[in-house]
Amino acid sequence: MTISEPRTSPSVGAADPAVFDEIGARLRARIAAVVVAIIAVGGLWQGACLALSALHVVEFANLKDVAHPWWVALACVATSVLSPALYPRLARSSRSTPAILLSIGTALVVGFVGSSTHFALVVPQMVWLPVLIAAATCTTPWVFVTFTVTMGLVLARHGLVPALTTVNNVVTIAVMMLLVVFVRWLHDAGLREAAVAHGRLMQTLDSDALTSLPNRRRFLESVVEALRFLPRAKKGLAVLRVDLEQFGSLTTALGRDVGDDVLRQVGALLRATVRSTDVVARSGADDFLVLLFDLPSVVGAERVAAKLVERLEQALPAGTRTVHLSVRVGVAFVGADAVPDAERVDDGAAERLVQRAETALARAKAGGRSRVAIEHGDHECQAQRRFVLSQDLREALDRHELSVVFQPIVELATGRVVKAEALVRWKHGTLGAVSPTEFIPIAETNGTIHSIGDWVFRVAVQQASAWRAAAPGFQISINRSPLQFREDGDGRHPCLAMLDELGAPPDSVVLEVTEGVLLDANAPTKARLAALRAAGVQLSLDDFGTGYSSIGMLHGFDMDVVKIDRRFVQGLSRGGKDWVLCGSILTMAHALGLKVVAEGIETEEQRALLLELGCDYGQGYLLGRPMPAVDLATRLQP
């Protein structure tokens, strides 16, 4: 499979990393708020006690020996005031540098304040708080180590190491360390619980709870991804709508639990029947959707649909008995060239494709039991392709996407290349080669046929002028759209004006005219054709014999050349119907003084038979395919 595999429904407990970060940040903020509240209250209480003791309002036995009670009280109050501003920021950050600096600063400030009593009072409030906050992040080890080393140096400097051996300080440190461990456990547990909840939510959004298959929402996302990849895949895709007929009756008769079990079996059978790269989804109570990739044609989708019907209609266990399901499948196929531009595929394209499958399913239901119906029409995609081509054709000339190739026209009696037909080609920037039969009608519709036609005329005439220097008498045949003939204006014909501008002789050009132009010709059009021929431009009646009044065209208009359509040449054989028709056309044309070109010569036998009938010129793959000007130049002879 060339397209990336569709995402599967997330398993329980799986979550987006961004979700983890958000949940973790919220948890750290909550833990910080609780700790800050505790420490702030404790700091205010300690500060108040120290102040009351310094004022001798209340006597506290453990505070009577404090050397600088007002400094210690100020430190406690400052801790209470600053902690709400500093520590929540630390909690929201996963970086260790702020926590380390805060720990060092706190340890140094407290260490240089005073006696061991100061440490006994202030350390629980100020020093361990950064460690506790950092414990809720990923910075606990570095902060703990940094603080411990710094505090050890400070205590050693003051000779206060023995003070830490007191039971009070040992218990305080032990409690704080246990609190750090508890906070970390609380953080991790909350994160795990939130991740599981998030995974369950995502599973509910993207998959069917009963069968664990993707749901309709996820299926449509897969279809959009597939359609956007289609221009590069070079193969088609199909959406299958699988319906279990009268499944409601089975549930009513055997119970909902049995019905659910059958649905699970159907989902498993569908999944086992298609390739691992295909997508199977449950879209409704008894409806399933299947997305098939890499299909060369609709035949592949039809075969898979038939195989699904065969597998699902086998006997399935249902409680204490077995059941046989009646299955119908609607298929909507999209060809490899149906999507013109991946960037313009919208979300509605997937819904429309599913609707096409539903339309096919309706036909299957109307046609009898266990039938597969296929919806071949790519109307939406074709309309989108036409729109894209119409828009891009307006800029094709400026983007240098158009080119002119030349197919040689050979004099059958001598084998010399004496003429060539100029043909326009379009190599789209993203779609590749676009057939003239597709883009010429679009050009006629959106009005770009005039600029494209004039550009082709100029390129062809300039090239013919260069070739005539090596092959005197060489002529170039140029197709001109019926729309151009009708809208050329009443003044001097644009073709004659361009010939004058390019300094090319009129007899170097043969304008090919279709029967449609002559059938719709009014008086001004007839006058323009007459003016062209009077100036020396030759006129060729293209695809002669395909219309219902070809002979009438020869009677009503002066022509120089008749081109026998390829359909009379393809089946040409001695004595056959095409042999008689080609002979009659040649006899009539020569009697009227016209030259004849036979199109579509692909075999040596066809060339020999046409030469035997007296055909003047031939054109076709046997004599030369359309080629760049540089290649045709090598075949010209003086």
Render pLDDT for 524-564 as a digit per residue (tens, 0 to 9).
778 888 889 999 999 998 877 665 445 666 766 788 999 99
Range in 192-196, 209-213, 414-418, 439-443 the model is least confident about = 192-196
With bands split at pLDDT 50, 70 and 90, how would you rate the model's confidence at 27?
Answer: low
Range in 150-154, 263-267, 494-498 the model is least confident about = 150-154
| Mean pLDDT of the 456-462 span | 96
Query: Which residue did the predictor score with more confidence, 299 or 227?
Result: 227
Cα–Cα distance between 267 and 606 in angstroms, integer? 59
Q: Judge if 248 and 192 occupy the same domain.
A: no
Q: Judge if 190 and 50 occupy the same domain.
A: yes
With bands split at pLDDT 50, 70 and 90, how would you rate the model's confidence at 4?
Answer: very low
The sign of the CA dihedral 51, 53, 57, 61 is positive
- Cβ proximity of 532 and 518 under 8 Å: no
Q: Which of 149, 173, 203 is the last residue of a domain?
A: 203
Give the number of other CB atoms < 10 A from CB of residue 158.
16
Strands (E), 483-614: 509-513, 538-544, 561-564, 595-598
- Cβ proximity of 241 and 358 under 8 Å: yes
Cα–Cα distance between 517 and 484 in angstroms, integer? 10
**Res. 97: pLDDT tops 80:** no
Residues making up the chain, counted from first to last: 638
With bands split at pLDDT 50, 70 and 90, how would you rate the model's confidence at 492?
Answer: confident
With bands split at pLDDT 50, 70 and 90, how would you rate the model's confidence at 166?
Answer: very low
Range in 118-127, 222-231, 428-437, 568-577 the model is least confident about = 118-127
Whole-number pLDDT of residue 281: 92
Residue 8 lies in a domain: no
Whole-number pLDDT of residue 136: 45
Q: Judge if 143 and 225 occupy the same domain.
A: no
- Could you tell me what percent of the chain has a pLDDT over 90? 28
Residue 12 lies in a domain: no
* Helix/strand/coil (H/E/C) assignment for every residue in 38-56: HHHHHHHHHHHHHHHHHCC
Cα–Cα distance between 307 and 293 in angstroms, integer? 16
Residue 9 lies in a domain: no
Q: Judge if 45 and 156 occupy the same domain.
A: yes
CATH number of the domain that 329 lies in? 3.30.70.270
Q: Judge if 373 and 400 occupy the same domain.
A: no
Q: pLDDT tens digits for 606-618? A: 999 999 999 999 9
Residue 533 lies in a domain: yes
Q: Judge if 307 and 343 occupy the same domain.
A: yes
DSSP labels for 262-311? HHHHHHHHHHHHS-TTSEEEE-SSSEEEEEEEEESSHHHHHHHHHHHHHH
Structure tokens at 94: 């996963």
- Cβ proximity of 626 and 422 under 8 Å: no
| Mean pLDDT of the 114-122 span | 43
Q: Judge if 343 and 322 occupy the same domain.
A: yes
Residue 4 lies in a domain: no
Q: pLDDT tens digits for 39-49? A: 556 556 666 76
Buried b / exposed e over 498-531, threshold 16 CB at 10 Å, is ebeeeebebebbbbbbbbebbeebeeebeebbee
pTM higher than 0.75 = no
Q: Judge if 337 and 471 occupy the same domain.
A: no
Tally the domains of the chain: 3
Whole-number pLDDT of residue 120: 44
- Could you tell me what percent of the chain has a pLDDT over 70? 60
* Average pLDDT of the residues of the chain: 75
Query: Which residue did the predictor score with more confidence, 463 or 113?
Result: 463
Q: Which of 348, 378, 408 is the last residue of a domain?
A: 378
Whole-number pLDDT of residue 139: 41
- Cβ proximity of 310 and 269 under 8 Å: no
CATH number of the domain that 426 lies in? 3.20.20.450
Residue 389 lies in a domain: no
**Res. 66: pLDDT tops 60:** no
Categorise residue 159: left if φ over 0, alpha if ψ from -120 to 50, beta otherwise. Answer: left
Residue 519 lies in a domain: yes
**Res. 481: pLDDT tops 50:** yes
Alpha carbon distances (Å) from 377 to 176, 227, 338, 547: 74, 16, 10, 30
Q: Judge if 595 and 472 occupy the same domain.
A: yes
Instruction: Give the CA count within 13 Å in the CB-facing half-sphere of 312.
Output: 31
Query: Which residue did the predictor score with more confidence, 284 or 10?
Result: 284
Q: Judge if 422 and 536 occupy the same domain.
A: yes
Q: Which of 154, 178, 203 is the last residue of a domain?
A: 203
Range in 332-346, 463-477, 544-558, 591-605 the model is least confident about = 544-558
**Res. 513: pLDDT tops 70:** yes
**Res. 382: pLDDT tops 70:** no
Q: Judge if 374 and 402 occupy the same domain.
A: no
Nearest to 598 by CA among 576, 622, 577: 622
Cα–Cα distance between 429 and 290 in angstroms, integer? 33
Residue 621 lies in a domain: yes
Give the strand pairing for 509-513 and 475-479: parallel
The amino acid that residue 630 corresponds to is V
| Mean pLDDT of the 298-320 span | 85
Q: Judge if 180 and 326 occupy the same domain.
A: no
Domain span at 128? 17-203
Q: Residue 577: in which H helix or E strand, if any? A: helix 577-591
Q: Which residues are known catalytic residues?
A: 599
Whole-number pLDDT of residue 121: 44
Nearest to 354 by CA among 183, 240, 189: 240
